[in-house]
Amino acid sequence: KAGVTQTPRYLIKTRGQQVTLSCSPISGHRSVSWYQQTPGQGLQFLFEYFSETQRNKGNFPGRFSGRQFSNSRSEMNVSTLELGDSALYLCASSLAPNRLNEKLFFGSGTQLSVL
């Protein structure tokens, strides 16, 4: 069974641009979460989607948005990029969000560099 796939693996953008990251969950998984990982900050929760609906949102500005499609694939978008947005963006999938002890399966991430 294929794992969580994130594309692209690396991305270089300049300040003010926007970016879209893609995540394909494990087949059969309907919940997708996004995290921002930076050195010293660990993983910061961005948002969680289930059945095309956002169920939880972290404390990020409105420049960060996401969506989920009917096939459970998810995208996140960051508009008006800032230098501080440089980070590894990780996507994780699970069967369903209401299983609180459910383990997450992570992709390898998209490394975003903002110049």
Partner 1 sequence: AQSVTQLGSHVSVSEGALVLLRCNYSSSVPPYLFWYVQYPNQGLQLLLKYTTGATLVKGINGFEAEFKKSETSFHLTKPSAHMSDAAEYFCAVRGNEKLTFGTGTRLTIIP
The residues binding partner 1 (CB under 8 A) are 4, 33, 35, 40-43, 45, 48, 56, 58, 90, 92, 100-101, 103-104, 106-109
Angle at 18 between CA 90 and CA 52, to 5 degrees: 55
Considering the complex, state which of residue 16 and residue 112 has its C-beta at the smaller distance from partner 1: 112
- Our CB check for partner 1 shows the closer of 21 and 92 to be 92
Interatomic CA distance for residues 54 and 75, integer angstroms: 12
Query: Cβ contacts of residue 109 below 8 Å, gap of 6+?
Result: 6, 9, 37, 88, 89, 90, 91
| Cβ at position 92, least distance to partner 1 in Å | 8
Query: Shortest Cβ distance from residue 115 to partner 1 (Å)?
Result: 21
* Contact status, residue 89 vs residue 43, Cβ threshold 8 Å: no
CB of 36 to partner 1, least distance (A): 11
Q: Which is nearer to partner 1, 18 or 113 (CB)?
A: 113
